[in-house]
Amino acid sequence: MLFPVKKISVLLLIILLAGACAVIRPPEEKKVPFPDGPAVPGTPTDEDLFLLGTSCLGNDELRPDYFNSRAAFEKLVTTYPGSRRRQIAKQFIRLIDEIQGLQSSASAGGSSTPNAQLRRENARLKQDLERLKLLEIESEKRDKKLR
């Protein structure tokens, strides 16, 4: 009677050890190659560049990327001189330059302007950005009404 118990225990030990050596690998993900060029063939329109520039400015959850935003607005200004978004893009470029100037002077430390003045200026620039966004929305609504 003791002999079958030993067989079963040895068999369970072998199964346990063999199971510990087995590796279950997750299925490999199919990798999609990253396109070299733009997602949509052709050159971006002025609206595409404007939306890219404004989306790079960020929101409550995303930190602004002033470099790429400025690059998109500059490309809009140079590529589409007759665009209705050209003046707004120029204003965005000016505001981005001012924000970056304030940030660099604030990070430099011993600035001649007090911190409170820099905060007020930063708040004013943010309000200007919001007003420009609202103006763009209003102009798009007017365009839709005219059509």
Which bin fits 45, alpha (ψ -120 to 50), beta or left (φ > 0)? Answer: beta
In this prediction, residue 15 carries a pLDDT of 82
Per-residue confidence in pLDDT tens, the chain, 147 aa: 557 778 888 888 888 777 766 667 777 766 655 445 455 567 888 888 998 899 888 777 778 888 989 999 999 999 998 989 999 999 999 999 998 888 887 777 655 556 777 888 888 888 888 888 888 888 888 888 887
Q: Rounded distance, CA 29 to CA 14, Å? A: 34
Question: How is residue 112 annotated by DSSP?
Answer: S
For residue 30 the two structure tokens come to 């199919």
Radius of gyration from C-alpha coordinates of the chain: 30
Task: Write down how long the chain is.
Answer: 147
Tell me if the pTM is above 0.75. Answer: no
